[in-house]
Structure formats: C-alpha cells, structure tokens
Amino acid sequence: MIGVPQTTTSQPRRAGRTISVIAGAIAGFVAVGLLIAGGVVLWANAKKDDAGYISTKSERVSTSTYAVATDNLDADIDAPDWIVSPDHYGKVRLKVTPRNGKPLFVGIAPTRAVAAYLSGSAHEQLTDVSYPRFSASYDYYPGGLKPARPAAQRF
C-alpha cells in the first residue's frame, strides 16, 4: 500500500497566521480612522476665508448685569505644534457687536484678575456652551457695586 503523507499544520504556524490577521485588521481600522480624520481636516481647511479663519454662525450671549465672564478658556489640545499649528487649522477670532449701540468692552485677562475686578458687582459666569443647537448656561453672582472702567485696568 502506498501511503499518502498526511499534512499537519503545526501550532506555531496557525498562531502566526492568526496574529497576522489580527494585526492586519487593526492596521486597517487605524488606516480608516486616519482617512476619516484627514477628510475632516481637508473639509475644515476648505472652509477658511482669505485671512485664514473658519467662520461659524453668530450666537447671542447676553446679560442684564455688568458683565459676562468665563473661567479659563482652554483651546489647547495638548498635541505637538506641527499638528495644531494655527497655520494648519486657522486662527481664533471673536467678533462682538453690541445690540443696543452702547460701547462694549471685551477683554482677555487671567481668571484671578477678572474675579477680583468683578468682586462685589453683579455679573454672570458663562459655565457651558452646547452645540449644534446653541445654548448657554450661566451662574449668577449678585452684587451692588459698579465695577471700575475696564479700560483703566492693568490686566
């Protein structure tokens, strides 16, 4: 009788194939994620104006008190500069228009300085902004003092 050699697959070979399939699937998922992220970046880049800004629709933030303040505004996503460079994704610009025609002051200062400046005066703290349907949440701080003119402050 002529014997037919039986082919047996060794355990290490099967394990190697399994690991290769898993690694390939992971690499495929990562590649798809990078393609989607790249598409979003290209779309956002196409939305920039000539000055390098990406514009959104206007939203109203208002108060009947002396001021609307916020805590620290953290626009840093802790990524390398070559990824989050303003040259890549645009710049931040805030355009403010008063509705009543009265002068309006908009300033950026350290949180502690603003808290000291507004201490004792009625103001609201912007605590949350939600999108895509814009909504803003505020905390009210009562007070009877009128703050000094903001332009006279050193912050």
- What is the pLDDT, as a whole number, of residue 26? 96
What is the total count of domains within the chain?
A: 2
- Do 38 and 78 share a domain, yes or no? no
Domain that holds residue 32: 11-46
pTM reported for the whole predicted model: 0.56
Judge if 42 and 111 occupy the same domain: no
Instruction: Give residue 118's pLDDT.
Output: 93
User: What residues of the chain score a pLDDT lower than 50?
Assistant: 76
Q: What is the rounded average pLDDT for all residues in the chain? A: 80
pLDDT number for residue 145: 93
**What span, in angstroms and rounded, lies between the C-alpha atoms of 58 and 60?**
7
In a domain, 62, yes or no: no
Predicted confidence at residue 59, as pLDDT, reads 81
User: What integer pLDDT is reported at residue 77 of this predicted model?
Assistant: 52
